[in-house]
Structure 1
């Protein structure tokens, strides 16, 4: 399931900080943009219904955790993006990214290592 942009923001907070209350997530989100507490709460409740988050209910507070991994989510988003924007061509995506953005020597080394390991398989 593809999370919305707002849902991705919440997932990023939970991936970085681990299980958190709505208040903790809201505080993190509020550092970057205006978002109401009730909006964050409603989004997180919807995300539980969509199986993107899990919720543990204590007597006074609810703790939320990401129910999907960062890697699986990124993989799904990239797969969909490659299919829709680049008609399934990973090479067109890579060429576009490398042609449009400055890539550090360290990143280029990582890319070369990845390509080398893919050639061996």
Structure 2
């Protein structure tokens, strides 16, 4: 499925997808129990959402037994890419810099995350080594 053909899940559908991506194929009961750890969600609400997601092609369902088991039909990384593209255009006018500034400026970023971000930037642009005498970005945050 190309990026343009990936269904755009709602917030509630994304919550369910997160459960499925983290835990693998799951029953409605399991998904509902996981969602209920964060906020109260009725079983029938979770069931209806999963049924709608199945109709949209967001999840696949194994109904070979009495208890249906759902699994994500969308890959996590591909879905995140579509959502980031949409957010980037809608909220940041297509500016990746504004998105990153907002993301890093709104919460405390751990040293480990900053290190991973630096490694990613080095992979994207390996010709630009950081000067050794530059200030530590951790000290600027």
TM-score by length of structure 2 reads 0.80
Q: What SS does the corresponding residue of 1:58 show, helix, strand or coil?
A: coil
| Pair 1:54 & 2:40 matched | no
CA distance in 2 between counterparts of 1:70 and 1:15 reads 7
| Pair 1:109 & 2:115 matched | yes
**Which sections of structure 2, spanning at least 5 residues, go unmatched?**
1-6, 128-141
TM-score by length of structure 1 reads 0.92
CA distance in 2 between counterparts of 1:45 and 1:58 reads 16
CA distance in 2 between counterparts of 1:65 and 1:87 reads 34
CA distance in 2 between counterparts of 1:59 and 1:106 reads 44
Larger % of helix: which?
1
- Shifted more, 97-106 versus 44-53: the winner is 97-106
Aligned length: 121
Instruction: Name which of 81, 87, 94 aligns with 1:88.
Output: 94
CA distance in 2 between counterparts of 1:55 and 1:16 reads 17
Residue 58 of structure 1: CA displacement? 2.0
CA distance in 2 between counterparts of 1:56 and 1:112 reads 42
Residue 103 of structure 1: CA displacement? 1.8
Query: Which runs of 4 or more aligned residues in structure 1 lie more than 6 Å from their structure 2 counterparts after TM superposition?
Result: none
Q: What SS does the corresponding residue of 1:34 show, helix, strand or coil?
A: coil
